[in-house]
Amino acid sequence: MCGFCGIFDRSGDPIDKVTLERMTTVLKHRGPDGDGHFWDREIALGHRRLSIIDVEGGAQPIGNEDGSLQVVFNGEIYNFVELRKELEGAGHTFKTRSDTEVIVHAYEQWGTDCVNHFNGMFAFALWDKHKRELFVARDHLGIKPLYYTLIGNRLAFASEIKALLQVAGCPREIDVDSLADLFTFRYVPSPKTLFRGIFKLPPGYLMRVTNKDFEIRRFWSWVPRLITSWREEELIEEYQSLLDDAVRLQLRSDVPLGLFLSSGVDSGVLLAIMSQYSARPVQTFTIGFEEGAKTNEVEDARETARRFGADHYSMMLSYKDYASYFERCMNDLEEPVADEPAPAFYFLAKLTRERVKVALTGQGADEPWAGYDRYLGVKLSTFYSRLPRLITDRFAPAIAKIPGRMERMKRGIESLGEPDILTRFAKIYSFFSADMKAQLYKGTLKDRFEAAPYGAMETLRRLQGDVQHLDPLSQMLYIDTRANLPDDLLMVADKTSMANSLEVRIPFLDYRLVEFVESLPPSLKLRGMTGKYLLKKALTKWLPSETIYRKKKGFAHPIADWLRTSMRPLVEDCLLGSNSSLSRYFDQDYMRQLYKKHREGKEPYMRHIYLLVSLELWHRAFMNK
């Protein structure tokens, strides 16, 4: 796990060292163990290393035998042992034990098709001196980030946006179209970012650049085809085998590793499998909130740790802990998301980094397996569409007018009658309804809203095009796994962990597992009102039934109350202050109404307020420079 950056001048002009060194320096938190640079006239590569594999010999950039290829890499190639053996058999000579060097020789062997041989989380940039070509790629599910921008003839790329902002001429302006997307989807879908002119390479894509050509294309072309006949027992055995192998591969490390442990089954099964492969007790880590004791996961996680003999560590976050980091959180995340627990994960990573350098996490099981409540709404929409219009035309408006803590239900119900599948999804995602946006937006943003109330939706439309042959639930799971997951949850996990120089691995997103799950019919994912149907059956091999079928707690927190009370001065300054940048895009009187209703407990506007405050803090961190 590391951070890298680079510049390619397509006109052939040399890259100055000062700019590259400045870009590399701001990535130091991603790699405190060392740095490296490479220059070859029009190309410059920079790297910061967090040493995990081949601690002594894996410094980057790494080249091939004659130095004509140079690569900088962020992530892990989990099947590097098997690939190395295959490549050595084909005549390639290795000088390190690093998984990074496998990328170089795999490119020599298979060209850009090498990415289809990798099982891992990765983002890398490889320079081919003979072709004068830059080759850049991002892993199948977008676990590792990769940003780029075009400044005249120059392509700048990096693991974080902060590095790009060190390049002269890099845009530092808000993209209003992306802002509209943020207030629909709660994140900005790839390839856009909230910065105008700065882009994300989408998950499963590669980029090839020369002085004449510029190509971005998809390399992971998997499209689900649902199986039509099956035996549950056989499917369960196959999934168990795949999950076991994914964990086995991701335990490869030359430094100590641990596990983020919650009360849920996803991290619990990882602990069970890790314990089978580890000669020592697994180190596990959990956080909770001091004021959320009734729904905290700490005790349940501790019990799971005891069951498998783990060395368990936990901490309870106070308001002061959360607030101390919240105002600088946007500097780490680089893009606001409506993910109010995000700052807390910084402290989980900080706790973990005190004892290990690598941690596994149970993220990534909910999206493919229909583990969230919103997927029930997609299923119910089929039933709802069969009801008489006399009922449906009155039902949704009546529910929408009911005050109180029903925000998610209202969104779900409002979406049920939407005939267009993609717009229905957007209504489920967007906790700012069309009516709220009409009152909140002003100026250019209001013009965008009137043209497209739920944003342009290009990315989601492209993804939906892959799976139009499938049912609505399968479509939404496919889209969420490739959009919501990488651009929100995985981004938060990467940025908060790397802010603490911690590598996080995600076994449930081994692409083989994802392809297997996406081949299953929806009835094996969402059975009745129960999500993760077949997954839960598969996990009985490792966990007791009472743990598997225990009511899900989620990540409980008292942030809604903090926004009303102890964080009130910050909220009012961000939303209503005379210097607030939000007044350029939003109606302050309407924001005042929203906050008043939330503060008085009349409406559950926590996530609305959180997103607005986060946007203002992001603007202060990056635009007021």
- CB atoms closer than 10 angstroms to residue 191: 17
Give yes or no for a contact between 123 and 137, defined as CB atoms under 8 angstroms apart. yes
Predicted pLDDT of residue 393: 55
Is the pLDDT at 45 greater than 80, yes or no? yes
Q: 611 and 338 in contact (C-beta within 8 Å)?
A: yes
pLDDT, tens only, 565-605: 999 999 999 999 999 999 999 999 999 999 999 999 988 89
pTM of structure:
0.94
Percent of the chain with pLDDT over 70: 92
- The model's pLDDT over 266-295, given as tens digits with 9 standing for 90+, comes to 999 999 999 999 999 999 999 998 875 555
Half-sphere exposure of 460 (CA within 13 A, CB side): 25
User: With left for phi above 0 and alpha for psi between -120 and 50, is residue 75 left, alpha or beta?
Assistant: left
Q: Which residue type occupies 480? A: D
Q: How many CB atoms lie within 10 A of CB 496?
A: 24
pLDDT of residue 397: 58
Please write the tens of the pLDDT for every residue from 485-509: 999 999 999 999 999 999 999 999 9
For the stretch 147-188, pLDDT in tens is: 999 999 999 999 999 999 999 999 899 999 999 999 999 999
Spatial CA neighbour of 585 closest among 593, 575, 594: 575
Name 125's bridge partners: 72, 136
pLDDT at 410: 56
CB 376 within 8 A of CB 411: no
Q: How far apart are CA 12 and CA 41, in angstroms?
A: 7
User: What's the CATH fold of domain 232-365+483-548?
Assistant: Rossmann fold (3.40.50)
Residue whose C-alpha is closest to residue 270's, from 492, 511, 508: 508
Cα–Cα distance measured from residue 586 to residue 443, given in angstroms and rounded to the nearest whole number: 8
Res 454: pLDDT:
81
Report pLDDT for 188. 96
Query: Are the beta carbons of 310 and 284 closer than 8 angstroms?
Result: yes
Contacts of residue 90, Cβ cutoff 8 Å, sequence gap at least 6: 109
Question: Pick from 298, 396, 392, 282: which is nearest to 348 by CA?
Answer: 298
- The CA distance from 452 to 445, in Å, is 10
Please tell me if the domain spanning 2-218 has the same topology as the one spanning 232-365+483-548: no
**pLDDT score recorded for residue 414:** 62
- Res 388 pLDDT > 70: no
Q: Domain 2-218 class?
A: alpha beta
The pLDDT > 90 percentage for the chain reads: 79
Q: What is the pLDDT of residues 516-555, one digit of tens each?
A: 999 999 999 999 888 999 999 999 999 999 889 887 665 5
Domain-by-domain residue ranges, the chain? Answer: 2-218, 232-365+483-548, 374-439+450-478, 559-622
- Higher per-residue pLDDT: 170 or 404: 170
3-state secondary structure of 489: helix
Strand segments, DSSP code E, in 42-196 are 43-49, 62-63, 69-77, 120-128, 133-138, 147-151, 154-158
